[in-house]
Amino acid sequence: MRATLIGRFLLFAVLGLIVLLPLWYWAAPWLAALPIWVAGTVMKAIFPWVDSFEHQGVKAILVTLVQVRMKGPQGDVFGELVPEVSYPTYGYGLVLLWAMLIASHPRRWWLKGLIGSLLLVPAQAWCICFQWLRDVVVLSGPSGAAYLKYPSWANEVVVYGYQFGFLMLTPVAPILLWLMFDKRFVAALWLEAALADKPEPAREKARMH
């Protein structure tokens, strides 16, 4: 009987991931549209070196005015930097959220899933923006740095924002949303864990005798 609720939740969550992952990957080009639009709109509004952005399948493409040195057929030439981001790298939290909601099955889980999907959009847009910024500010090399003329501490801010999005925001945001949406189930998990750690009275009496 120990950890029955936890074991059942983990089993259904894994099964949910197995079923939902192929569906999510198939729908990724459409699911990517909103976070890419938000990320591109924010970047274009903040940074004057952003020319435009494009959404091609699962790819988020930022067209910039930043000049970088590239190898051409007749030697090095300067061209505009056009970084790309793959939406699935940061969009898998959507599947994780739905799998956990299906496994715990709270009241109106489908509505909470839809609300959570919208709440994940800013987190996904954050990650897309900071990978674009990393590629432009950090990875563009000396020619990109000469064009941007940013101070050295800007690189550290961009790297921190990128690592926060990749390592923390993407995997943790769906878990936090699930904790918020199903507090009753989480409380039941804590109660079961506490009872599982408590010694049974019969065993205690047997030890005394």
DSSP string covering 166-196, please?
IIIIHHHHHHHHHHHH-HHHHHHHHHHHHHH
Range of the domain at 139: 4-198
Say what percent of the chain tops pLDDT 70. 86
Residue 130, in any domain of the structure: yes
Q: What's the pLDDT score for residue 122? A: 97
Q: How far is Cα 88 from Cα 124, in angstroms, rounded to an integer?
A: 10
pLDDT-derived band at 1, boundaries 50, 70, 90:
very low
pLDDT tens digits, 54-68: 999 999 999 999 988
pTM: 0.86
Q: How far is Cα 76 from Cα 96, in angstroms, rounded to an integer?
A: 45
Whether residue 208 is predicted with pLDDT greater than 60 in this model: the reply is no
Whether residue 92 is predicted with pLDDT greater than 60 in this model: the reply is yes
Pinpoint the alpha helices (H) of the chain: 4-31, 33-46, 88-91, 93-104, 109-133, 141-148, 152-163, 170-181, 183-197, 201-208
Residue with tokens 């029955």: 4
Whether residue 11 is predicted with pLDDT greater than 70 in this model: the reply is yes
How many other CB atoms are found less than 10 A from the CB of residue 12? 16
User: What are the backbone dihedrals phi and psi of residue 15, each rounded to the nearest 5 degrees, phi first?
Assistant: -60, -40
Residue 206, in any domain of the structure: no
Q: How far is Cα 193 from Cα 208, in angstroms, rounded to an integer?
A: 25
Residue 60, in any domain of the structure: yes
Residue 207, in any domain of the structure: no
Side-chain half-sphere CA neighbours of 179 within 13 A: 6
pLDDT tens digits, 32-41: 999 999 999 9
Residue 209, in any domain of the structure: no
107: left (phi over 0), alpha (psi -120 to 50) or beta: beta
Q: How far is Cα 98 from Cα 189, in angstroms, rounded to an integer?
A: 19
Whether residue 194 is predicted with pLDDT greater than 80 in this model: the reply is no
Q: How many domains does the chain have?
A: 1
Residue 75, in any domain of the structure: yes
Mean residue pLDDT of the chain comes to 88
Average pLDDT over residues 150-156: 92
**Hey, what amino acid is at 159?**
V
79 vs 139, higher pLDDT: 139
Tokens read off for 153? 């501490």
Residue 37, in any domain of the structure: yes
